[in-house]
Structure 1
Amino acid sequence: MNKKHKQHHEEHIDESWLIPYADLLTLLLALFIILFASSEMDSKKYNSIMRSLNSAFTGGSSFFDQPQVVPIMEDPASDLNKKLEEAKQLSEKQGAEQEQIRKETAELQELKQKLDRYIQDNQLTTQLETKLTNDMLMITIRDNALYASGSANVKPEAQKLAVTISDMLTQYPQYQIEVSGHTDNVPIRNAEFETNWDLSAKRALNFMKILLQNDKITANRFRAIGYGEFQPIDSNDTADGRAKNRRVEVSILRTIKSPNVIGADGKKQ
């Protein structure tokens, strides 16, 4: 009798522990599947998944009982289209800038040729030179071509040069113009100017005023700056070097600056 009762008891072992165990296995399986799927997602999507899991673990008794889960996937096609559109807009902007650079370079090269021809025709090669850079077309004029020593008054014979430059600039109204004065490092000694800064600023201003006598030029395109001796282009230890440092520069500024000058033929200079 006891033997039969013992066998009957063994056939009805309590297996209720299997239910939470199965739920745990199911939850772990879901977690591993999600983590595996997220291994190829970006950080934004991964964070979204983590928020969803956190909501599931803290907000209810079961992962699958949550009625509101943060979306974990984005539309791949929409994301790709957005990136393609951004790339297209960037390409169009860069293309427009490159075209503007080529156009400006062609115009400034044309102006440079006109100036170089004027310099050659008037035998001014020792007094004037032009240079096209990434930022500007610069006209450099030695101070002895424009002023007497220690003076800021433009020589009468040099005013013709200013008028010629002014006439050329009227053909290029889109550019800003900077007129800058420079000296050597020898201190100025006269009653009119206390420092080389004063002298360089006054020289730049006086030359700019002659350029602005042309009624076809608008004054808001121009600015005058005096740099004194603080931007030398040669050594101040020799007479020739000091002579080169004493100068006026008329700079026609590009509207778009490029790391490399692009010529009219599309090639980098």
Structure 2
Amino acid sequence: MDELPEEEKPGIPAWVVTFADLMSLLMCFFVLLLSFSEIDAQKFKQIAGELSQAFGVQREVPALEIPMGTSPVFDQFSPAPPEPSLVNEVRQSTTEQAPELETLRTTTEVQIQQQLERQMQQTTAKVEQVLDEAIRDGRVQLAEDEHRIVIRIEERGSFPSGSADVTWEFEGLLLDMAEVFADIPGKLTIEGHTDNIPIRSDRFKSNWDLSAVRASSVANVLLESGAVEPQRLVVKGLADTRPRASNDTEDSRALNRRVEIIVDLSGPMAEEEARLRELVESHQGQPLAPDLERQTTPAPNLQW
């Protein structure tokens, strides 16, 4: 009787052995690579920092960057520069100077500016008092521009048409103004202006000549009084380069024919401000309001 063939028993496939050998060799290879490698700590920290910024990780604030002061009202602080954000953030600013010193300095600045404005108003009032009648007649206009007083003299009643001779009435007004200018410091600039209608005569070849001679005539009257020093005067002839109005009509051209006397007080005001600051610094730590009001009399050398 023939024997039956033996049944094949199930087992591990043959390829598994080869795969296991390959994995073992790969693991040994990477272990050897790791044992030969060196870790650069600085480069690792740099890469880690860049990754944390890329993923929005909030940076740690070192102890050296602790804010100098916080507000009891706002307990949120961000040392980063302000950027547009959808989230409302409260950002603070600090200073090394004491807040009370800043408050005193602000009060002092207000006192100084008020004193300078008061002196400027008093000076303008002196000039306005002398020119009161001429201002009401419309022959003279008075304006205040920062630290300058502008006296605008219309041609009507001051100069004959096409002439640079000062009228008798206007000459008397200039003599009264010279007495006021003697008590007011600063440079006096006299500007002559005309319209755009060309002029050509035996005496004046152009509007430049007319405007310059008219300004010189006003300066001569001020000098004849003896109250105004020549070093303070500046004479300019501007012709029709700076019109007040358009030259389309006779009325507008009449507005452009004028002489302007500009009292520049910027220099004396700067000196007075320096004097007031010196006075305030000498009284640090003491009440300034009564002292400043009582001791800020105009300096004698300014003749204010």
Category of TM-score, reference length = shorter chain: 0.5 to 0.7
Are 1:244 and 2:255 matched, yes or no? Answer: yes
Show the 5 A alignment for 1:101-250: 102-121=114-133, 125-134=137-146, 136-173=148-185, 175-250=186-261
Task: Give the CA deviation at 1:99.
Answer: 6.5
Is this contact kept in 1: 2:140–2:153, CA < 8 A? Answer: yes
Show the 5 A alignment for 1:51-70: none
Is this contact kept in 1: 2:190–2:261, CA < 8 A? Answer: yes
Is this contact kept in 2: 1:109–1:132, CA < 8 A? Answer: no
Task: Give the CA deviation at 1:36.
Answer: 8.2
Structure 1 residues 20, 106: closer, same or farther in 2, change over 3 A? Answer: farther
Is this contact kept in 2: 1:111–1:168, CA < 8 A? Answer: no
Q: 1:207-231 CA distances to partner (integer Å, 9 max, x unpaired)?
A: 1232234545333332111111222
What is the root-mean-square deviation of aligned Cα atoms in Å? 4.4
Is this contact kept in 2: 1:177–1:221, CA < 8 A? Answer: yes
Task: Give the CA deviation at 1:160.
Answer: 1.8
Alignment gaps of 5+ in structure 2: 1-24, 55-61, 67-93, 268-304
Specify the alignment match of 2:46 in structure 1.
31
2-structure distance, mates of 1:91, 1:194: 62
Task: Give the CA deviation at 1:146.
Answer: 2.2
What is the letter of the counterpart of residue 193 of structure 1?
F
Q: Between 190-199 and 14-23, report the one with greater CA deviation.
A: 14-23
Is this contact kept in 1: 2:192–2:236, CA < 8 A? Answer: yes
Name which one, 1 or 2, has greater alpha-carbon Rg: 2
Is this contact kept in 2: 1:201–1:227, CA < 8 A? Answer: yes
Task: Give the CA deviation at 1:255.
Answer: 1.6
Normalising by structure 1, report the TM-score: 0.60
Task: Give the CA deviation at 1:206.
Answer: 1.9
2-structure distance, mates of 1:215, 1:36: 84
Task: Give the CA deviation at 1:135.
Answer: 5.6
1-structure distance, mates of 2:162, 2:231: 29
What is the letter of the counterpart of residue 243 of structure 2?
P
Q: 1:32-82 CA distances to partner (integer Å, 9 max, x unpaired)?
A: 46668999xxxxxxxxxxxxxxxxxxxxxxxxxxxxxxxxx9x869xxxxx
1-structure distance, mates of 2:178, 2:124: 14
Task: Give the CA deviation at 1:106.
Answer: 2.8
Alignment gaps of 5+ in structure 1: 1-9, 40-72, 78-82, 257-269
What is the letter of the counterpart of residue 156 of structure 2?
N
| Aligned partner of residue 153 in structure 1, secondary structure | coil
What is the letter of the counterpart of residue 261 of structure 2?
V
What is the letter of the counterpart of residue 39 of structure 2?
D
Is this contact kept in 2: 1:116–1:129, CA < 8 A? Answer: no
2-structure distance, mates of 1:237, 1:206: 28
Normalising by structure 2, report the TM-score: 0.54
What is the letter of the counterpart of residue 159 of structure 2?
Y
Task: Give the CA deviation at 1:147.
Answer: 1.7
What is the letter of the counterpart of residue 131 of structure 2?
I
| Aligned partner of residue 248 in structure 2, secondary structure | coil
